[in-house]
Chains A and B, each alone.
Chain A
C-alpha cells in the first residue's frame, strides 16, 4: 500500500525485565490524523520514542513509505522524515523565530558565514504556508507559547518531515489558539503529511482524528476509524471498564444558610486582578471559568499568598485573615493544588514520602526535630487514602506516571487537612481513569463539608462537578452562574466569550 507513511509491526520492548510494549502494531497513512490514546504508562511514549529512533525495539519491524528500516538515532529518524512536536517545547527562547527554525542547519552565505536574512525569508515562507504571519526576527521569549509550537512545526516542515508526532499539543494553548492548530493540522494533512496525535482529551480526539489506536498496559487494544467509535467506547478501551456516568452532574447539598466559609471582597493584585469578590460555602464546589489571562490562576495564587495583594479583604469563617505568604494561607486552612505539578507541586528527585510530608513538617516534628515513625505513618495513610500506586514511598516521585504524580500532589495537600481547597487544573495531563478518580475525590471533599474552588479549562469537567461557576473576564468576575442555570457546554462557552449576560442574572 503506497499510502502508508509508517507501519510498525509486532513491536516489543522491555526495560530491566519489565515489558512495556508487547507485540504492538501501529500504522499511519499519508494525509491521516491518527490518534494514539491510552492511560499514563500504556506505552504510547515508548512506542513513539521507538519511531523517533530514541529506543530500538527488542522485536518487530518498522517500515517507512514501504521500506523496511532500522532507526538507530533520532537524527536517523529525522532524516527519514519523522519529526516530533514536543509537549515541553524544545525551542531556545532567547533566539529568534528564524534562528530556531534553522538551528544547527543555518543558512550560509559567502565565506561560510551565517546568512540570517536567508533563514528569515525562508521562515516567513514556511509560516505563510501555515497561514500565519510572523516577524521571523522576533525573539521567541517575546511571543506567546502558541508561536513556540508553530515554530516547532515550521522547523519540522523545513526538514521536509512527512510524519509529525504531536504530544498533547493543545496543553498550553488557549481555546482560539487550539482552534487554529486544528485548522493547521487539516491543511497539513491536505498536503499529504501524516500526523500522530497523542492526547488525553477525548473530545479533541474526536475532533481531529481519522483513526484511533488505543494502547493499554503495553498492548494494542484496537485501531478503529473515529467515525465508528463513540466516546463511551473509546473511554472503555482506554480504561478497560465502563466509566458509566462518572462525569455527569448530580445536584449536591450546599450549606448556604450558614455564613460563607471564605469571603473575598474587592481583591486587587497587580498586574491583572481588578476587584475580585467571591463567596465560598461549606460543601460547595465553585468553578472558575474564563479565557487564559482572565485572572483565574492569579486569584487562587493571591489567595494562597504567592502573589502580594495590593488591597481587598479575605475572611475565613467570618474572621479577616492577612495572607502574606503560603505559610499564612496554610495556617488559615487554605491549600492550593498548583497548575504545574512538576514545577510548583513536587520536588521531583525527592521521594514520594518526603514530598507528601513537605507541608506537614510541623506536624510530625517537635521543636524542629523530625519524628520519622510518625512521618511514615502519615505518608502511608495519605498514599492509601488517595490510592497512589507506588510500591515504595521512598522511591523518587519522578519515577511515577503523571497521573500518580498528580495524586501525590493532591495527597500532599489533603494532609494539611484544609477547609478550603484551591485546585488549578487538577486533571491536566492525567489519563481518563485517574481523572475520574480525581473528580470523585473533589466531590468527596465537598461532601465532607470542605469548600473547593476549581479552575479547569475543560468545560465538561466544570459542569460535572461544580455547584456554581464564576466567569472571569479581564481580571474581574463577570458573571456568577448557578449550575442549574447552565443548560450545556455551549452556554458556558458563550458566557466565557462575554455573551449571554442577561440569561445569567435571571
Chain B
C-alpha cells in the first residue's frame, strides 16, 4: 500500500470532517428564510419592521437558550426556566412598585439565582437527577408566582424599567435585541474562551474523566444550573418590560422552545458539545417559523403542528451517526 494511494483518502477524510451536518441549523435557517422571503413577499415578511419584530419576539427564548446551552452541554437539563421567568417577572414588578427600580431588578435576578442555586444543590448534593429536580421546581415556581399575585397581573409603571427591559432602545436598535446580543456574546466567550467553559464541556463529555483531571464537576454543575436560573429570570424581566407587567403566565412553555433551540443549534443532549451561536440561530429559526406561519394565515393549531414537524426534521438531519 504505497503512500501515494493514501493521501487522497486522507484529504477526503479531512473534507468529510467538515461535515455539512454540523452546519445544518445555518443551512436550515437560510433555507427557511429564503422560502418565506419568496412565498410571503406580498405579506410583508421582508419588511424591516417585521424582521426586527421576529428578533424582538424571540429575545426571551434566545436569552433562556444561552443559559440552557451550558446546562445541556454539561449533560444536565433545566425544565424550570419558563416558570422561573414567570416568577421573576412577578417579583420584579412587585419590588418595583414597593421599593423602586434598582430593588426591582435585584429582586428579579435574585429570584433566578436562588432557584438556580436550589436546583444546583438538589442535583449535586442531594443527587436527584436534574430532570426530576427541575420538573418539580417548574411546579413550585409557577405555583408560587400564581399564589403571591392571586393570579392578578402586576403592572409596572416605571418608565425607565419598561424602556430598558422592553420597548426602548439605543437609537434605532431595540433594547431586546441589545439584551440578546449581550447575553449571546457573553455565552460565546465564556463557553469557548474561558477555562470554565472548557470544564463545562469536559464535565458533560465524560464526567469521570473530568473528575480525574482535577475538575470539581459538582461545582461546575452547580454553577451552570445557577447561571441558567439567572438567564431565565432575565428573560422573565424582559417579558415584564415588554408587556409593562409581571404575570405568572409569562414564559409558560418556554422551556420546550429553549431546549429545542439549543438542540437545533447543535448542542448534544448527551452533553460534551455545545454552541451558543447555534442556540441563537435555533431560537431565531423557531421565531422565523412562527412569524412565517402567522403571515401565511395558518391557524394556531396548524402552526403548532408544522413547528413540531420542522424541529424533528432539523434534528434528524443534523444527527450524527
Contact B215 A370 (CB under 8 A): no
Contact A358 B210 (CB under 8 A): yes
Contacting residue for B1 out of A19, A329, A370, CB 8 A: A19
Within the complex, what minimum Cβ distance (angstroms) separates B170 from chain A? 27
Indicate whether A348 reaches chain B with its CB closer than 8 angstroms.
yes
Contact B212 A326 (CB under 8 A): yes
Contact B12 A17 (CB under 8 A): yes
- Within A365-393, which residues are at the interface with B (CB < 8 Å)? 365, 368-370, 372, 391-392
Contact B195 A370 (CB under 8 A): yes
Count contacts on B: residues with CB < 8 A to the other chain. Answer: 32
Contact A359 B1 (CB under 8 A): no
Binds B, one of A53-61, A127-135, A338-346, A447-455: A338-346
Indicate whether A298 reaches chain B with its CB closer than 8 angstroms.
no
Closest to B13 in A: A16
Contact A361 B198 (CB under 8 A): yes
Binds A, one of B77-85, B86-94, B177-185, B199-207: B199-207
Bound Cα distance from A149 to B62, whole angstroms: 50
- The 0/1 profile, CB within 8 Å of B marked 1, for residues 347-360 of chain A is 11110001001110
Within the complex, what minimum Cβ distance (angstroms) separates A218 from chain B? 7
Indicate whether A234 reaches chain B with its CB closer than 8 angstroms.
no
Closest to B192 in A: A370
Indicate whether B6 reaches chain A with its CB closer than 8 angstroms.
yes
Given contacts A344-B209, A347-B206, contact A365 B195 (CB under 8 A): yes
Contact B9 A18 (CB under 8 A): yes
Indicate whether B142 reaches chain A with its CB closer than 8 angstroms.
no
* Residues of chain A with a CB closer than 8 A to B17's CB: 395
Within the complex, what minimum Cβ distance (angstroms) separates A24 from chain B? 13
Contact A327 B214 (CB under 8 A): yes
Contact B210 A18 (CB under 8 A): no
Contact A349 B272 (CB under 8 A): yes
* Residues of chain B with a CB closer than 8 A to A327's CB: 214-216
Contact B1 A22 (CB under 8 A): yes
Bound Cα distance from A218 to B5, whole angstroms: 15
Given contacts A16-B16, A350-B201, A361-B198, contact A326 B211 (CB under 8 A): yes
Contact B6 A362 (CB under 8 A): no
Given contacts A18-B6, A18-B9, A391-B10, contact A330 B214 (CB under 8 A): yes
Bound Cα distance from A92 to B137, whole angstroms: 34
Indicate whether A306 reaches chain B with its CB closer than 8 angstroms.
yes
Contact B194 A18 (CB under 8 A): no
Closest to A22 in B: B1
Contact A358 B9 (CB under 8 A): no
Indicate whether B150 reaches chain A with its CB closer than 8 angstroms.
no
Within the complex, what minimum Cβ distance (angstroms) separates A188 from chain B? 36
Contact A17 B215 (CB under 8 A): no
Contacting residue for A344 out of B194, B202, B212, CB 8 A: B212
Contact A326 B1 (CB under 8 A): no
Closest to B208 in A: A344
Contacting residue for A346 out of B201, B206, B214, CB 8 A: B206
Further 7 A-B residue pairs, CB within 8 A, beyond A306-B212, A326-B212, A354-B201? A19-B1, A338-B212, A346-B209, A347-B206, A347-B210, A350-B205, A392-B14
Q: What residues make up the interface of B, taking CB atoms closer than 8 Å to A?
A: 1, 5-6, 8-10, 12-14, 16-17, 193-196, 198-199, 201-202, 205-206, 208-216, 272-273
Q: Which 10 A-B pairs have the closest CB atoms?
A: A17-B9, A347-B205, A361-B195, A347-B206, A358-B213, A326-B214, A327-B214, A330-B214, A359-B213, A18-B9
Q: What residues make up the interface of A, taking CB atoms closer than 8 Å to B?
A: 14, 16-19, 22, 217-218, 304, 306, 325-327, 329-330, 336, 338, 343-350, 354, 357-359, 361-362, 365, 368-370, 372, 391-392, 395, 412
